[in-house]
Amino acid sequence: LAKTTQPISMDSYEGQEVNITCSHNNIATNDYITWYQQFPSQGPRFIIQGYKTKVTNEVASLFIPADRKSSTLSLPRVSLSDTAVYYCRLESTGNQFYFGTGTSLTVIP
Protein backbone atom coordinates (compact mmCIF):
# COMPACT_ATOMS: atom_id res chain seq x y z
CA LEU A 1 0.00 0.00 0.00
CA ALA A 2 1.22 3.49 -0.82
CA LYS A 3 2.43 5.17 2.36
CA THR A 4 1.98 8.74 3.52
CA THR A 5 3.72 10.57 6.35
CA GLN A 6 2.33 13.66 8.03
CA PRO A 7 2.90 15.39 11.37
CA ILE A 8 1.01 13.86 14.26
CA SER A 9 -0.16 17.20 15.60
CA MET A 10 -0.04 20.95 15.00
CA ASP A 11 -1.17 24.04 16.88
CA SER A 12 -2.16 27.35 15.34
CA TYR A 13 -3.68 30.62 16.49
CA GLU A 14 -6.97 31.81 15.15
CA GLY A 15 -6.72 33.85 11.99
CA GLN A 16 -3.45 32.33 10.85
CA GLU A 17 -2.86 30.33 7.69
CA VAL A 18 -2.10 26.69 8.40
CA ASN A 19 -0.06 24.48 6.11
CA ILE A 20 0.01 20.72 6.65
CA THR A 21 2.54 18.83 4.58
CA CYS A 22 2.24 15.19 3.66
CA SER A 23 5.13 13.13 2.29
CA HIS A 24 4.48 10.35 -0.21
CA ASN A 25 7.82 9.43 -1.74
CA ASN A 26 6.50 6.29 -3.42
CA ILE A 27 3.55 7.89 -5.14
CA ALA A 28 2.59 6.11 -8.35
CA THR A 29 1.84 7.74 -11.67
CA ASN A 30 -1.89 7.15 -11.39
CA ASP A 31 -2.30 8.12 -7.73
CA TYR A 32 -4.58 10.97 -6.73
CA ILE A 33 -3.93 12.94 -3.52
CA THR A 34 -6.97 13.47 -1.33
CA TRP A 35 -7.47 15.22 2.01
CA TYR A 36 -10.22 14.60 4.53
CA GLN A 37 -11.22 16.39 7.74
CA GLN A 38 -12.62 14.64 10.81
CA PHE A 39 -14.22 16.25 13.84
CA PRO A 40 -14.49 14.26 17.11
CA SER A 41 -17.16 11.56 17.08
CA GLN A 42 -18.00 12.18 13.42
CA GLY A 43 -17.06 10.59 10.13
CA PRO A 44 -14.35 12.12 7.93
CA ARG A 45 -15.40 14.69 5.36
CA PHE A 46 -13.79 15.20 1.95
CA ILE A 47 -11.93 18.51 1.67
CA ILE A 48 -9.95 18.55 -1.56
CA GLN A 49 -8.33 16.36 -4.18
CA GLY A 50 -5.54 16.96 -6.67
CA TYR A 51 -3.15 15.28 -9.06
CA LYS A 52 -0.53 17.94 -9.72
CA THR A 53 0.14 21.68 -9.35
CA LYS A 54 -2.43 23.62 -7.35
CA VAL A 55 -6.08 23.10 -6.60
CA THR A 56 -8.26 25.58 -4.72
CA ASN A 57 -11.83 25.40 -3.50
CA GLU A 58 -13.95 27.32 -1.02
CA VAL A 59 -12.40 25.51 1.93
CA ALA A 60 -8.71 24.99 1.20
CA SER A 61 -5.87 24.91 -1.29
CA LEU A 62 -3.72 21.95 -2.20
CA PHE A 63 -0.18 22.48 -3.47
CA ILE A 64 1.58 19.63 -5.24
CA PRO A 65 5.15 20.07 -6.53
CA ALA A 66 6.25 18.74 -9.88
CA ASP A 67 7.79 15.55 -8.45
CA ARG A 68 4.54 14.83 -6.52
CA LYS A 69 6.51 13.35 -3.62
CA SER A 70 4.73 15.62 -1.18
CA SER A 71 1.63 17.77 -0.96
CA THR A 72 0.59 20.65 1.27
CA LEU A 73 -2.91 21.39 2.47
CA SER A 74 -3.35 25.10 3.13
CA LEU A 75 -6.17 26.37 5.33
CA PRO A 76 -6.54 30.16 5.16
CA ARG A 77 -7.30 32.12 8.34
CA VAL A 78 -8.28 29.21 10.56
CA SER A 79 -10.95 29.50 13.22
CA LEU A 80 -11.64 27.43 16.34
CA SER A 81 -14.05 25.30 14.32
CA ASP A 82 -11.18 24.09 12.15
CA THR A 83 -9.85 22.06 15.08
CA ALA A 84 -9.95 18.53 13.68
CA VAL A 85 -7.87 15.66 12.37
CA TYR A 86 -6.72 16.06 8.76
CA TYR A 87 -5.95 12.96 6.70
CA CYS A 88 -3.76 12.85 3.62
CA ARG A 89 -4.56 9.91 1.37
CA LEU A 90 -3.17 8.47 -1.82
CA GLU A 91 -5.86 7.10 -4.04
CA SER A 92 -4.73 4.15 -6.10
CA THR A 93 -6.22 0.83 -7.07
CA GLY A 94 -6.30 -1.35 -3.97
CA ASN A 95 -5.56 1.61 -1.73
CA GLN A 96 -8.60 3.78 -2.25
CA PHE A 97 -10.27 2.77 1.01
CA TYR A 98 -7.46 3.28 3.52
CA PHE A 99 -6.63 6.11 5.94
CA GLY A 100 -3.39 6.86 7.80
CA THR A 101 -2.97 8.39 11.24
CA GLY A 102 -3.70 11.98 10.21
CA THR A 103 -2.62 15.31 11.69
CA SER A 104 -4.47 16.61 14.73
CA LEU A 105 -4.82 20.37 14.32
CA THR A 106 -5.67 22.46 17.38
CA VAL A 107 -6.64 26.08 16.81
CA ILE A 108 -5.94 28.28 19.80
CA PRO A 109 -7.89 31.46 20.59
> What is the contact surface with other proteins in residues (CB under 8 A)?
30, 32, 34, 36, 41-46, 49, 91-93, 96-102
How many residues can be counted in the chain? 109
Query: Which residue, 45 or 77, has its beta carbon nearer to other proteins?
Result: 45
Query: Which residue, 42 or 81, has its beta carbon nearer to other proteins?
Result: 42
The neighbouring-strand residues paired with 10 are: 105
Tell me the C-alpha distance between 6 and 20, whole Å. Answer: 8
- Minimum distance from CB of 64 to other proteins (Å)? 15
- Minimum distance from CB of 10 to other proteins (Å)? 16
3-class DSSP assignment, residue 80: helix
